[in-house]
Chain A
Amino acid sequence: MKDRRLMLFEVARGTAAILLALLVATIFIFLCSDEPMTALRYLLIGPIIKDSGGFNTMSFYTILAAMIPTIFTGLATCVMFSAGQFNLASEGGAMAGGFVAALCGIYIQMNTGLHAVVCVVIAAIVCGLIMLIPALLKVKLGASEMVTSLMLNYIIMYIVLHFLNYNFADRSKGSTQTYPFAETAQIPALVPGGSKLSWGFVVALVFVVIIALFMYRTRWGYAIRMIGINKSFASYSGMKVGGVIVLSQVIGGLLSGLGGSIEVLGRYTTFLWKELPGYGWTGITIAILAKNNPIFVPFAAFFIAYLNKGCSLMATYSDVPAEMIDIIQAAIFLFFAAEQFLARYRQKIVVRNTQADLAKLETVKGGETQ
């Protein structure tokens, strides 16, 4: 019973963090807007309710489409963070994945159906291999994966830009972009219309299930989680700590590569990213919101996508700038990450439980001596 009380407390703490963050956002909106009620309306219900009052299906699909890459980067971050590896390179991974998949889509000739799959698989493998860099540096040399992966993001970005500019650019176009992918490489849309909701969404949900099973129903996922909780315990138990740390980051790379490649092949017809796409950063937010549990990732991704959509609507139709999303995200981060947030109340629960246990123990002892 006491465990359930603590778990309920954790859920309540999460909800409170989100509500407080929205409250902070509301305060800012009231401070900087002349039409705060309009702004709030677009932020909170705009994404799914039409101005006329009905349910906005197309906008809803757009939100789902926006979840595709961030579900993957969120899963990638979950796996790596679960192993206690603060690897931030799913950002670069998504970009590299997108670029590799685009090249495969342009320069490999194949049949419809198979082509897209091959592109995505190659992209994922390349990203998995790239992630060996911070992983091996960590295991062999003890270099902080946080620093190396952060650096790696920019190395990947500039390498991609170099090849895009000098080797693969379509000179007939006004902006820097590759030649268009073969039609066989494009991921088909799931619903008609311009929502960009592709079959990638279904793949993303399948991967949520796969990764959840991997983390909670296989010995490798188990080892990843145990190492994240207590490395000394894991190695004393006989787990290969170094190998599992590398594994977790390679899987992180695979997933972020999947995210980037599916996004590029599902949304665009050419590769045209000229900076880091931001999906990796969002993935970190999602992993933190989901408490590293893959099952919660789609919900967190939906929440973030919804907020993003709300913010862009608010920026379009009211006088509040789109940067508000950063304030809301930062506030959620602060409240979520703050261990001490409501800690006093938690400590009260713990003290009460412990004292109840001790009292029980005393009565048991008393009974024995009698």
Chain B
Amino acid sequence: MPQNEFVVQMVGITKVYPNGIAANRDVDFNVRGGEIHALMGENGAGKSTLMKMLFGLEQPTEGKIIVNGETVRLTSPTVAISKGIGMVHQHFMLVPSLTVAENIVLGMAPTKGMFIDYKKAVEITEEYSKRYNLLVEPDKRVMDIPVGMKQKVEILKALVRGAKILILDEPTAVLTTQETEELFRELIHLKEQGYTIIFISHKLNEIKQITDRITIMRAGKSMGVYNTAEISKEEISRLMVGRDVVLAVQKDKAEPKETVLQVRGLTYTNEWNKKMLDGVSFSVRQGEILGVAGVEGNGQGELVEMLFNLNRPDAGSATVNGQEIIGMPQDKLRALGVSLIPEDRMTYGIAGAATIEENLISDRIDQKRFNKGPLFNMKAIHAESEQLIKDFAVLCKSHQQKVQMLSGGNIQKVVVAREFSSNPKLIIADQPTRGIDVGATEFIRNKLVELSRAGAAVLLVSADLNEVMELSDSLIVMCGGKIAAYFEDTSTLTDAVMGEYMLGLKSQSDEEIRRVCHEG
């Protein structure tokens, strides 16, 4: 087989989910034998969906998949494995109480009579482990081994099942720097032995380091395929986030007043023993937008979870107008005037099978004006929902339409309409415009500015550099769970400077960062 022949060809792939979301639209994706091929894109760009179809977890609505020159219908992972495709998921699919060897042979265990031949299982594990230089301890239980080794077990599992094409879904997301380096050496070793690797990531440095070619996806479409050596990081990021649409937001200069949100020393270590927040301290004042920039997975998501009691920190405090909010139930938080646009709108933001109206009133059903004795005041509720639909320009047929039938942008407008209309004192906006259309994006950005100028404190978390730099009055950059930099004035900032702090190449002194607490 010549080196450059395609082992995987996905042609004209379209995927429409049963909820009407078009995750992939006419995507072409080709992988050469023996290469490390990066699949890049923001969350929601459709890369996971594409790979799920290649691994047989989902079926394409349109298009065909060709593996080794043969058109295949991958109806299940079993079929995909039989075609030599293996996948290592971001969250490991291992049985914690079984040993490494048992996990590796699970479902295909060598038997001796009625029983599993455990010795043989260990032999198989050791043989593969040596051949591919993926060192594991076969007799240890999976729950007792570190994350890096779990990942090797996952890779070995795929190899033992005869995979020649390995899909790795954000493999470095859970690894430390040293573990990442080790993984890369192993991947290059595998590549040298003729294996093909598809590497899903959105970390530019890693991609540049080990991949041969890159396919970039944005909003369900392929933005083309490039040779890694011939494309600059800037070009990749431009293609990924699509900065070609420049949205100008009109904004007066901020006049910050009293501190609303005060965060001090938030620290959190996640279940994989990775320190996601490391002594984070900052303040947000009335009338200002504080941006939080950073490469995704550097603690921004965890920060938001802590502030809205969706998770508990190990240490630290956060107050809103002097009241401690760590561990405060959400109804109390909302009564204090805290609003959240959640990052994951389908999980937290809406109840999909409920109507638009029901989604709009979820935080205010106990208010007097919506109740008449024990019953709802339907007139007041209809009036409220119709007003919100009008004010926030939600495109729909009626307030009785199911919210899951709306487009992403309109779903987000429903969330925003609810969160912005409760007279909030503090708005936490986590990726408020991710994956939605230009019109809705512009609308939401303008509303954020409008509310902050009217006196709300806004904490804006966004992986979209354009958004965070344009909207914020001042901003912090997070890297590795810490604040790496604080910029009091965003108007003179450049991408290049931001990039250096985001990727951890530089970080400000403690004194410089401490200014964001606005003390003394």
Binding site for B on A (CB under 8 A): 1-3, 6, 213, 217-219, 222-223, 225-226, 229-230, 232-240, 343, 346-347, 350-351, 353-355, 357-358, 361, 365
Across-interface contacts of A230 in B (CB, < 8 A): 347, 350-352
Which residue, of A1, A3, A236, A358, has the highest number of chain B Cβ atoms within 10 A? A236
Q: Count the B residues whose beta carbon is within 8 Å of the partner chain — how many?
A: 43
The minimal Cβ–Cβ distance linking B229 to chain A, given in whole angstroms, is 34
Given contacts A235-B330, A240-B331, contact A354 B22 (CB under 8 A): yes
A247→B19 CA distance, assembly (Å): 31
Whether A233 lies near B351 (C-beta < 8 A) is yes
Told that A235-B330, A240-B331, A351-B16 touch, could you supply 15 new A-B pairs with CB distance under 8 A? A222-B376, A226-B362, A233-B348, A234-B351, A234-B362, A236-B310, A237-B330, A238-B331, A346-B18, A350-B20, A354-B21, A354-B22, A355-B16, A361-B407, A365-B438
Task: Verify A233–B374 contact, CB threshold 8 A.
Answer: no
Q: A6 contacts which chain B residues (CB < 8 A)?
A: 405
Segment at the A interface, from B123-131, B200-208, B363-371: B363-371
- Inter-chain CA distance A351–B25, complex, in Å, is 12
Q: Which of B318-355 contact A (CB under 8 A)?
A: 329-331, 333-334, 340, 342, 347-354
Residues B354 and A2 in contact, CB atoms below 8 Å apart: no
Q: Does chain A have a CB within 8 A of B447?
A: no
- Which chain B positions have C-beta within 8 A of A346? 18
What is the chain B residue whose CB lies nearest that of A222? B365
- The SS class assigned to the A binding surface is helix
A363 to chain B, nearest CB (A): 13
Query: Cβ of B351 and Cβ of A358 under 8 Å apart?
Result: no
* B358 with A238: CB separation less than 8 A: no
Tell yes or no: B514 within 8 A of A by CB.
Answer: no
Q: Give A249 to B449 CA distance when docked, in angstroms.
A: 45
Q: How far is the CA of A357 from the CA of B21 in the complex (A)?
A: 11
CA distance A230 to B353 in the complex (A): 9
Q: Interface on B for A, CB 8 Å cutoff?
A: 16, 18-22, 25, 61, 308, 310, 329-331, 333-334, 340, 342, 347-354, 358, 362-363, 365-366, 370-371, 374-376, 378, 397, 401-402, 405, 407, 437-438
CA distance A268 to B360 in the complex (A): 50
Residues of B with C-beta under 8 A to A222: 358, 365, 376
Quick check: A226 and B351 within 8 Å, CB to CB?
A: yes
Residue of A nearest to B350 (CB): A233
The listed residue (A217, A219, A236, A355) touching B348 by CB distance below 8 A is A236
Query: A3: which B residues are within 8 A, CB to CB?
Result: 397, 401-402, 405
- In the assembled complex, the CB of B385 is this many whole angstroms from the nearest CB of chain A, namely 13
Chain B, Cβ-Cβ closest to A347 = B18
User: Do the beta carbons of B362 and A237 come within 8 Å of each other?
Assistant: yes
Whether B351 pairs with A229 at a CB distance below 8 angstroms is yes
Nearest CB of chain A from residue B246's CB, rounded to whole Å = 14
Task: Report chain A residues within 8 Å CB of B401.
Answer: 3
**Least distance between B414 CB and chain A CB atoms (Å):** 12
Contact of B20 with A354 in the complex, beta carbons under 8 Å? yes
Determine the residue in chain A with the shortest Cβ distance to B25: A358
Contact of B354 among A225, A235, A240, A347 (CB under 8 A): A225
Residue of B nearest to A237 (CB): B362
In the complex the two chains form, is B376's CB within 8 Å of A219's CB?
Answer: yes
Q: Note all chain A residues with C-beta closer than 8 A to B354.
A: 225-226, 229
B437, A350: Cβ atoms closer than 8 Å: no
Query: How many angstroms between the C-alpha atoms of A3 and B20 in the bound complex?
Result: 12
B358 touches A226 (CB 8 A): yes
Q: Which residues of A contact B16 (CB under 8 A)?
A: 347, 350-351, 354-355
Using CB atoms, name the residue of chain A closest to B409: A361
A240 to B370, CA, bound (A): 18
Given A3-B402, A233-B348, A234-B351, A217–B376 Cβ distance below 8 Å?
yes
- Cβ 8 A contact of A213, one of B333, B347, B375: B375
Contacts of B22 in A (CB 8 A): 354-355, 358
Expressed in whole angstroms, the minimum distance between the Cβ of A364 and any Cβ of chain B is: 8
Complex CA–CA separation, A346 to B329 (angstroms): 40
Given A217-B375, A218-B376, A238-B331; A233-B347 close (CB under 8 Å): yes
A162 to B348, CA, bound (A): 49
